[in-house]
Structure 1
């Protein structure tokens, strides 16, 4: 079933960025614009322009209730004798020396980020107008001191055209839903510009007025189906061209392994969406949609689980209630497997957030292995994430770089160990803190409390930036 009204409420109450935060963003960017115009920064400012998901109207509420990002371009005339890095460095210096923005400011390769803690971040990027040719815009790469042609406003217009073809704002709504799916599941990573472009590429001129976009759930089914068909026909990472800038490949720096994982996960979620859409029973359809989007979908609706051992039903037993801990999650994992563990278990409220800024250096995906052994033993039995274990001995975790590459010499591993479940809470061991490695890139933890617990590895550089992170490793103790 489609549940059009539930989708409307889900977008409004859970997915969409609320108007208060949008107003705060507009006030902040307005103040930044006024400050730059009134400052002594040398370039002549032509105008400011929104960019990214803010301009595209696909921005969503952060699923972790943290800060969201917004992009602001400052269009300027060229300055004689200036190279690309001069625009970024001098604007960063102007903001850093301000009593208003100094402590909020960090300079990156292309932009200057102003952070409003626990609210939002504004990335301000200089963009030089008609430096060499008429009707051209160039962003500034400080790291390589190069100008790079860009067409952000034409790309935004292309997305608006796709949205107009789909009708009823459905392209934007579907994009927000898929971004929410990415952020709540944490099973794949895909830059928003790639995700948005891929979805937009599958809306065609002949779709205008089509029943394939009759409403939001139908548009979601249509676009995810088309995207999955396209991905399955391309086992190797394809180019994903900027539709408005010849020669720019959005996927150029997207790792092949991340593409392969994205391709597999989109196929999984396309299947789940089709099953939820095609399910004729109202009760079972809500359960199936919660399998896709979690317990916030049709929130407040009580469902009765009727089917027996399907994966959807097993997951629904956990997600059908707003309070997952009312169920014995360990029992459910033992019966149905680790696939039923909801993403929320990996990030409970008492967990300390990862506060390091993302490094500008290339990202490194981390993998975790675990062996069941005594603390000072030299050998143990390999254990998989989600494997049910008895409360004896402990696990020796080890962090590796995906693909076997070596860690940079100036980096170290931090471990976040999170305990969940009522037993750990009663024992006042509801940990969610960061710990150092012990020997090399390892950490040993005892197996003590009944529940589903989490280990994660973070790669931190000497200057305090985050270079890499692992997926959560679920430790299930009976």
Structure 2
């Protein structure tokens, strides 16, 4: 059995998904699966989990308003690639997903993404369910062919589909991680029948190492999430390294040091370039972005170098110094939030963002006020104002042309509450003098907050600090 230090267990505790969130994730997946199976059986649906929640490597979101991503495959077995186009299959699955959302009165409409349909749950758990439409790949029982709008034959009945093999990947990963062995040991300690132990209750050393590596990447690329090494790349390379070097290791420290240094040895090559292939399907390139833009590969190399430095405990003079450095690499660099941010997060009717967060752009709000039809004057954050003052908010950020701008307005106080105007929702911009702005007026006494978001393809790339308006 591998031994864990107290310090590493504390770091793991900080990023581990609570049991209640795992149970909620399973409950929501099962609800969607049961609905589609019962209402769309003519398509022969088979739904199953894939990704981090299935593999046991999911971690808490990096930010308080972040979201869990739950990956689901929806395989319509009544169809084959010879019978249906990717576009048509996407619509068939979309019909089922939209029907489920309407039947359950979901606040957010399902989003039709490049590959998946996404259901967003905006509540205290904040989940995104990504549902991937697919068919069985001809002649391969566990290989799926899935939809992708970027495929040149997306609208055609064609043999040219992207393929994957999530079921066999899961079997490969679970076998390498020795999950069945650790599950037996867990059941024995708990004096429970092994079939009564949910998989998420058991964490192997490999799963825990991957959780730490994933958090390390999130923190390092907090301001450039686009180039962060993907979860599947980190998982695949770590598992390959564990399969070769993971036996006869006594301490978790040693395992982390070995995996962080050795995982780079397990890169594949395709067309003269480094890549990461699916170990159970060599035709699937898991690092497709590397092939089209070398920046992704170069950023991966930077991350792996930093990873090996941060997890090589023996390179530091003392263990205390090593753990202090490691803790710094696993914590947000911008975790100190403003008082306005702290206040607005505590407001019950302030809704969580409905988009995925990949915050990489600096976004600020500038504001102006106008009295009695006069001219606008600059307004500072937190300046007290009387009622009946006109306000105009503008966003300050670079290269906004390709982004949508949304505003969140949250009121507080008895006056706003008594007339049902606490708000807390998201709003589009007003177009004034060719600019996308938000106009408001001071109607109710209290502290009120305005926030700006820049969004593209249902991903939020920038969010402002809350701008405080005090009405006296």
Question: Normalising to structure 1: TM-score of the pair?
Answer: 0.60
Contact 1:16 1:61 in 2 (8 A): yes
Task: Kindly indicate whether structure 1 or structure 2 has the higher relative contact order, using CA contacts under 8 Å at least 6 residues apart.
Answer: 2
Is 1:64 matched up with 2:63?
yes
Name the CA shift for 1:466/1:134 in 2 (closer, same or farther; >3 Å): closer
* Corresponding residue for residue 242 of structure 2: 203
| 2-structure distance, mates of 1:227, 1:102 | 42
| Deviation digits for residues 263-316 of structure 1 (CA, Å, limit 9, x no counterpart) | 223312322322x4454645434423323334xxxxxxxxxxxxxxxxxxxxxx
| Deviation digits for residues 18-40 of structure 1 (CA, Å, limit 9, x no counterpart) | 10111111111111111111214
* Corresponding residue for residue 128 of structure 1: 135
Contact 1:366 1:457 in 2 (8 A): no
Structure 1 unaligned spans of 5+? 295-340, 369-395, 401-406, 417-432, 442-455, 473-478
* Corresponding residue for residue 238 of structure 1: 274
Contact 2:176 2:239 in 1 (8 A): yes
Structure 2 unaligned spans of 5+? 183-203, 346-350, 364-394, 409-425, 436-450, 466-472
Give the SS at the match of 1:128. Answer: strand
* Corresponding residue for residue 100 of structure 1: 104
Name the CA shift for 1:96/1:415 in 2 (closer, same or farther; >3 Å): closer
* Corresponding residue for residue 9 of structure 2: 8
Name the CA shift for 1:136/1:192 in 2 (closer, same or farther; >3 Å): closer
| 1-structure distance, mates of 2:273, 2:336 | 32
Is 1:32 matched up with 2:32?
yes
Deviation at 1:160, TM superposition (A): 1.7
Contact 2:4 2:251 in 1 (8 A): no
* Corresponding residue for residue 344 of structure 1: 335
Alignment of 1:164-243 (within 5 A): 164=178, 169-185=204-220, 186=222, 189-205=228-244, 207=245, 209-211=247-249, 214-227=250-263, 238-243=274-279
| 2-structure distance, mates of 1:3, 1:193 | 25
Contact 2:277 2:283 in 1 (8 A): yes
Name the CA shift for 1:263/1:440 in 2 (closer, same or farther; >3 Å): farther
Name the CA shift for 1:259/1:84 in 2 (closer, same or farther; >3 Å): same
Give the SS at the match of 1:197. Answer: helix
| 2-structure distance, mates of 1:128, 1:171 | 31
| Deviation digits for residues 308-356 of structure 1 (CA, Å, limit 9, x no counterpart) | xxxxxxxxxxxxxxxxxxxxxxxxxxxxxxxxx9331378645889936
- Measured on the aligned residues, the alpha-carbon RMSD in Å equals 4.5
| 1-structure distance, mates of 2:70, 2:79 | 26
Is 1:140 matched up with 2:147?
yes
Name the CA shift for 1:471/1:159 in 2 (closer, same or farther; >3 Å): farther
Give the SS at the match of 1:190. Answer: coil
Give the SS at the match of 1:345. Answer: coil
Name the CA shift for 1:43/1:228 in 2 (closer, same or farther; >3 Å): closer
* Corresponding residue for residue 285 of structure 2: 249
Give the SS at the match of 2:162. Answer: strand
Contact 1:78 1:130 in 2 (8 A): no
Name the CA shift for 1:208/1:182 in 2 (closer, same or farther; >3 Å): closer
Higher deviation after alignment, 101-110 or 54-63: 101-110
| 1-structure distance, mates of 2:95, 2:38 | 15
Contact 2:90 2:147 in 1 (8 A): yes
Contact 2:223 2:359 in 1 (8 A): no
Higher deviation after alignment, 89-98 or 135-144: 135-144
Deviation at 1:16, TM superposition (A): 1.2
How many equivalent pairs are there? 350
Name the CA shift for 1:180/1:201 in 2 (closer, same or farther; >3 Å): same
Give the SS at the match of 2:328. Answer: helix
Contact 1:358 1:466 in 2 (8 A): yes
* Corresponding residue for residue 355 of structure 1: 353
| 1-structure distance, mates of 2:296, 2:354 | 22
Is 1:117 matched up with 2:102?
no
Contact 2:355 2:460 in 1 (8 A): no
| 1-structure distance, mates of 2:362, 2:299 | 14
* Corresponding residue for residue 21 of structure 1: 21
Contact 1:95 1:101 in 2 (8 A): no
Name the CA shift for 1:92/1:227 in 2 (closer, same or farther; >3 Å): same
Question: Normalising to structure 2: TM-score of the pair?
Answer: 0.61
Contact 1:51 1:72 in 2 (8 A): yes
Contact 1:237 1:259 in 2 (8 A): no
| Deviation digits for residues 411-453 of structure 1 (CA, Å, limit 9, x no counterpart) | 467899xxxxxxxxxxxxxxxx999999999xxxxxxxxxxxx
